Amino acid sequence: DAKTTQPPSMDCAEGRAANLPCNHSTISGNEYVYWYRQIHSQGPQYIIHGLKNNETNEMASLIITEDRKSSTLILPHATLRDTAVYYCIVRVGGGTSYGKLTFGQGTILTVHP
């Protein structure tokens, strides 16, 4: 699975959009981009995923560049409860190793009042 690079930490003001970048320059054509987050002392929570088109759900939007070498997770109106570690993970959607997720260090997002 392709390796990802994320900034170790970011700050965001409450009510503003939080834009979390992720570089995955070695991504393969059959690999998806997944985002999870982990609030302190809890299990990770699935946020969103995409292959090449931009995606939006009730939690966030995912913008993937045309060359697919990077992506941005957007939390449109961050709240204090969005403070968490955000993990960007790239992996194939199927195949013999399907289901396996490799977590990097992620980005610690701190939302402040």
Question: CA-to-CA distance for 67 and 62, rounded, in angstroms?
Answer: 15
Does 98 sit near other proteins (CB under 8 A)? Answer: yes
Mask: binding to other proteins, 28-47, rule CB under 8 A, as x and -?
Answer: ----x-x-x-x--xxxxxx-
Does 103 sit near other proteins (CB under 8 A)? Answer: yes
* Number of CB atoms found within 10 A of residue 23's CB: 17
Please report how close the Cβ of residue 3 comes to other proteins at its closest, in angstroms. Answer: 13
Closest among 75, 107, 77 to 14, alpha carbons compared: 77
Does 13 sit near other proteins (CB under 8 A)? Answer: no
